[in-house]
Amino acid sequence: MVRRRCPLDKRTSRDHMGLLRRVFQYRKSLSVNRLVAFLGFLLLLIAPAAGQTADLKLVVLGDSLSAGYRLGPDEGFPEQLQKALGEKGHSVEVVNAGVSGDTTTGGLARLDWSVGEDTDAVIVELGANDALRGISPEISRQNIEEIVRRLRERGIEVLLAGMLAPRNLGPEYAEIFDPIYSEVAKTHGALLYPFFLEGVALDPDLNLSDGMHPNAQGVAVIVERILPKVEELLANAQSS
């Protein structure tokens, strides 16, 4: 069930209105400094409630590809996705739960505290570091499957962002690794975006100097391409 986050409920609204009445009632007897201090305190009371206006909470559980590695504060995937969704009229809070260098094992280990109880949907973007380190695809599969299974058991909608194995690991590795995401998504009723770096991988204009991590322009391409799937994810969360 979607948890609506109303910025001010009726009781809170009455409390704030009462405080405002006090300000105007006693404004003649208050010094300027006391009045400013009182108004500042009032804003502190209202600010936490006003910050809880989003209808849905979307967590991006990922590694450096989604965490914003070497990017500015507004250039990472969660931040650009937040902006794009807002421009499309979606009331959603996008939370960056990306950890640079994380493997599927690390993602599974921190799953419960990275994805809070008030989460409605999760984008799972993990596995690139498994492949880079040559970790057994069976281990990656077990971890990804457990992550998705546990999220789905909690009633959380999931979009699984797929990854492809580096071809220098050989065709046998790729044949086992690449299908993990589609098969896990099908088994557990999750949405699938087949390749997170689609349209960005190997393009020097869209990646940092290391050739592996997207730059701000590359992230923008990812957001544009994945946006329809994210909107489908939010629609599922809204209706669940």
- How high does pLDDT run on average in the chain? 86
State how far the Cα of 52 lies from the Cα of 225, in Å rounded to an integer: 28
Cβ atoms < 10 Å from Cβ of 92: 23
**Are both 70 and 45 inside the same structural domain?**
no
pTM of this prediction? 0.79
> What does the pLDDT look like over 91-149, one tens digit per residue?
999 999 999 999 999 999 999 999 999 999 999 999 999 999 999 999 999 999 999 99
- Average pLDDT for residues 31-53, to the nearest whole number? 47
Cβ-based burial of 171 (10 A; exposed 0-12, middle 13-18, buried ≥19): exposed
pLDDT band at 1 (very low <50, low <70, confident <90, very high): very low
Q: Is 32 domain-assigned?
A: yes
Q: Above pLDDT 90, what percent of the chain?
A: 78
Domains contained in the chain, number = 2
**N-term to C-term CA, the chain:** 5
Flag whether pLDDT at 36 surpasses 70: no
**Are both 71 and 26 inside the same structural domain?**
no
**Are both 66 and 45 inside the same structural domain?**
no
CATH number at residue 205: 3.40.50.1110
- Average pLDDT for residues 151-175, to the nearest whole number? 97
**Are both 43 and 156 inside the same structural domain?**
no
- Residues with catalytic annotation? 64, 210, 213
Q: What residues are paired with 59 via a beta bridge?
A: 95, 122
Q: Residues 6 or more apart from 26 whose CB is under 8 A from it?
A: none
**Are both 25 and 88 inside the same structural domain?**
no
102-130 per-residue burial string, b: 16 or more CB within 10 A, e: under 16: bbbebbbeebeebbeeebbbbbbbbbbbb
Place of tokens 């931040």: 79
